[in-house]
Structure 1
Amino acid sequence: MAKTATLKSANVLGKDMTVMDSMTNIKKINAGMKAIYKRIDSLDEKDENTTFADYNEVITDEVVKQVAKLLDLNKEDSKKLENMSYSDLFNFYSKAVNDFTGMNTPSVRAMQERMERAVKAATKEDPK
């Protein structure tokens, strides 16, 4: 049975948009995830201190772009995505990514949680 993800976009695009786990869409998702990680890596390669806000900026920008590509939106409709709830866009894209490929879309929240766990593990005293 096909897996699907639906973006509730009737209020912005005039209709809700549904995609399924076709090979075409999986290829788009793979390319999109590579683009997101490439942008994250480019931040990491800079000599300056990168903030969570910097990561959030590139992730949100790429997610919007990748949603537009996944939905095959024209330039005008792609621009309309910027007026939608980012939470709705992220949840739609993350569901498609996870359900269709098993990957997880990067998020600043997940980065912060990993950092907190690493700090907590590093500061935990040896019981001996």
Structure 2
Amino acid sequence: MRTNSTLFVARILLVLLAWLIAATATAQTPGSLTGTVRTSASAPIDYATITLHRAADSSVVKTEFSDAQGAFRFEGLSEGSYRVSAAQLGYVRHWSAPFTLPAGGKFCLLLRCKKAPLRS
């Protein structure tokens, strides 16, 4: 009788442990965001400052720079709602619309910046 009870408890603990490991692995799966920043004429904007913000309050999460082809990437992101801003000398800062990144999700953006007016 004691052996059956011990075996039953061991099985229950094993099932709970497997469930806990699966839930933890799912919750910790990071997401990523990739994108490109371009001019209104579709030319890449190299080395622009790309900033990832929380959509709720615009607080800064991470900042990266676009490469020579205007591409950028953010990795290791937790699920949530975000916005992205792109800034470069000679261009008006561009803000993306808010978007939601699910756990482990991938999101791709195309940002288009307009030339800034010349000031005298």
When normalised by structure 1's length, the TM-score is: 0.23
When normalised by structure 2's length, the TM-score is: 0.24
Larger proportion of strand = 2
